[in-house]
Amino acid sequence: MTGHRGGLLYRPSNLLYNGAMRSYRPVNLNVLWFLIALNLVIFVITLLRTEAVINSLALDTSRLRDYPWIIISSMFVHDPIIWSHILFNVISLYFLGSFLIRAVGDRAFLGVFFLGGLAGNLLFVLHAHMSGSTLIGYGASGAIFALAGTLAVVVPRAPVIIFPIPIPMPLWVAILIFAFFLIVIPMGAPLRIAWQAHLGGLFLGLMAGFIFRKRRRIYYV
């Protein structure tokens, strides 16, 4: 995959979807498939050894100083009881990830994924310390929200469909809907949703999107 200083780089952002996102040229999704496989493998291990995996890899805010790797490893752990957790994240990772790789390349995709997950987890830890409570979190939602936030800036008019709404809507509208239901509502409801991780990942993704647009970092694929 090579960069280019003409063509798509200087087209208006609303044309990027038609030019880059609908490309039929082969795209290397090996990095994306690896992340998906890693999530699924760890999920299967979690089903077999739930307590051991949670204790070793989940983000326990009271143990972060002694086990610093959990700030990253927790991104690949999912609830073994609520199957929709892993299902939603894997499906979202595939669709959002494949779009973003086509738009900015696999290296930039990895950067957004891990930095978004890290930003979300750091906000999760900060909130726990500020509230004086001990929290345990896991899941790739922060990283996935980062992918969505980046795409919402890079290709805001890309049409998507959100179940159960049967009509296409611009990607930026879909992101606002997700942000409302998965960030705003849990703040005042007793739901097991780490809105802090979602919020941190989304903000990181939005910032990354503006950086990509400013640098015109769009690639032919």
User: What does the pLDDT look like over 24-43, one tens digit per residue?
Assistant: 456 789 999 999 999 999 99
Q: Would you say residue 71 lies in a domain?
A: yes
Q: Would you say residue 27 lies in a domain?
A: yes
Q: Would you say residue 200 lies in a domain?
A: yes
Q: Would you say residue 154 lies in a domain?
A: yes
- d(CA 10, CA 188) in angstroms, rounded, equals 44
**Could you tell me which of 119, 162, 181 has the C-alpha nearest to residue 144?**
119
* CATH value at residue 33: 1.20.1540.10
Q: Would you say residue 54 lies in a domain?
A: yes
- The structure's pTM equals 0.80
pLDDT at 67: 93
Q: In this structure, are residues 134 and 65 in contact, taking their beta carbons and an 8 Å threshold? A: no
Domain holding 91, by residue range, is: 7-215
- d(CA 86, CA 150) in angstroms, rounded, equals 22
- How many CB atoms sit inside 10 A of residue 37's CB? 11
Q: Say how many domains are in the chain.
A: 1
Q: In this structure, are residues 77 and 97 in contact, taking their beta carbons and an 8 Å threshold? A: no
Q: Would you say residue 220 lies in a domain?
A: no
Tell me which residues of the chain have a pLDDT lower than 50. 1-24, 186-191, 217-221
Q: Would you say residue 202 lies in a domain?
A: yes
Which residue type is seen at 217?
Answer: R
Q: Would you say residue 123 lies in a domain?
A: yes
- d(CA 194, CA 138) in angstroms, rounded, equals 9
- How many CB atoms sit inside 10 A of residue 126's CB? 13
Tens digit of pLDDT for each residue in 172-209? 888 787 767 665 554 444 446 677 888 899 999 999 99
